[in-house]
Chains A and B, each alone.
Chain A
């Protein structure tokens, strides 16, 4: 059995209000598999799975985006392949692997 667990949607910050009839897109969040839907932004995927997008690099706790319109820049995240993307303007793609916590202490 693989270590990956599927995080059910519903326990996160956001509530889906419709448009559930879309193909599932499986992504990985901090190593755990999560089922997003085609057309979700990465911000939506992260916040249906949990309550965080990243850790503030100034030690004041987790952040979860703010403006939803590519203006505040609060939602930049690391992908496992080393790229950084803005979650609210990046659509999910199958296999996308995102890290909301720094890989090692002091690595943020």
Chain B
């Protein structure tokens, strides 16, 4: 019997992996909860929208078009199931929710290409309507042709910060300013690494120059203090690098401090993890081809390591080639080496990005006790601190048990990084020592009816 191969995620990584395996004549099932392939960066607009590729994807329009077409003509080998959420993984079985219908699929080999989401650091007022994740503000624009406000303030530290501000201004949206927590000196210091991929860096500088030319203020080395507003956002208050307090009138805040891997399914599969210091987050332990500690399970793309769309495509191809090699199929060694060299260059450039847009963990550690940390359960920073100092929690999972931080509907996707920093600071230990929030099924909420159908299915097949 041929091996059953499943790929989760039809972004750049998963799409490329499916295509490479199909070219080698292997059948795969490609699962994604979205309605079409493309993933985050090449996310498609809904039917009936008419903006051309160039308007939607800018300099990356050609890549988007190629990726969208990458599955065409391979329908016989690639079983692409859209609107299909993989909500659990149990041994070698995936539990699915296809538009409200429960299903399950068994696999022999699995490539997880589940992408990333925004990483945020809370601040006072961040639960007010009008505060959105930075990537979310971009989704509003790309997927819905909307700006998240009439005058949006961009806050955080991320290469997406100047980029999305630029996209907004270009699309005719009001931009109130860009408040970047990384000092200008750090950006200059990162230049040698950034120049490992000069094209990408030049593009980034172009966006900043464009903002400056159009009179949009960009503050480097700022400290966000609070979002103000009654029923919704009316201002952002921050401290400048020089120490002055400033208020920017705005009706929306787009907040982002880089990205974090979506790797809950790898966690359920029992994959080993390691702490990645440059990006300050836990990642699935993997070799340079994406093989994990679990036999037959591979990771690729931003769900494996945050390094952007071009690397995601290459990593998807690399994982597919590893899978082919592991099946004893012939693999082009020259291509493998070429991908390795290309990824090494991107990795060097990412090191530069991590310095130019550093993650300001001290911001989470110094939050006041009354700030809401966990949006789902409205758990405050003080409650998490007390779980450590008064109840004796010695890692993030114990703190979760004591005060419900990370226990809500999002499973700590949003509050996890900041919560870990608060716990680490309260323990007086490095962040790695605060541990890693464990994933749980369902990795995203599923209707009770789907859970019930799934249980019924289990009993029948038992």
A contacts, CB < 8 Å to B = 13-19, 21-23, 38-41, 44, 47-48, 51-53, 56, 58-74, 76, 86, 89, 91
Instruction: Spell out B's residues near A (CB within 8 Å).
Output: 33, 40, 45-51, 117-118, 127-133, 135-137, 139-141, 143-150, 171-174, 231-232, 251-252, 262, 372, 375-378, 408-410, 413-414, 444-445
Closest to A16 in B: B146
Which of A15, A17, A48, A89 has the most CB atoms of chain B within a 10 A radius of its CB? A15
- Give Cα A66–Cα B129 distance, bound, in whole angstroms: 8
Interface of A is mostly: loop
B144 touching A44 by the CB < 8 A rule?
Answer: yes
Q: Which residues of A contact B127 (CB under 8 A)?
A: 56, 60-61, 63
Beta-carbon contact of A40 and B251 below 8 Å:
no
Question: Which chain B positions have C-beta within 8 A of A66?
Answer: 131-133, 136, 375, 414
Find B252's partner among A13, A48, A61, A69 (CB 8 Å cutoff).
Answer: A13
Chain A residue contacts of B444, Cβ below 8 A: 70-71, 73
Contact at A51–B173, with CB atoms within 8 Å?
no
Residues of B contacting A69 with CB < 8 Å? 40, 117, 133, 135-136, 139
For A38, list chain B residues within 8 Å (CB). 48
22 A–B contacts, CB within 8 A, in A order = A13-B251, A14-B140, A14-B146, A15-B150, A15-B174, A16-B145, A17-B145, A17-B171, A19-B50, A51-B129, A60-B127, A60-B378, A64-B129, A65-B136, A69-B117, A70-B444, A72-B133, A72-B375, A72-B410, A73-B408, A73-B444, A76-B445
Question: B136 to chain A: which residues have CB within 8 Å?
Answer: 65-69
A42 to chain B, nearest CB (A): 11
Evaluate contact between B130 and A51: CB separation under 8 angstroms: yes
Inter-chain CA distance A76–B130, complex, in Å, is 16
Asked if A61 meets B128 with Cβ closer than 8 Å, knowing A13-B149, A14-B148, A15-B150, the reply is yes
Which listed residue, B132, B139, B143, B172, touches A17 by the CB 8 Å rule? B172
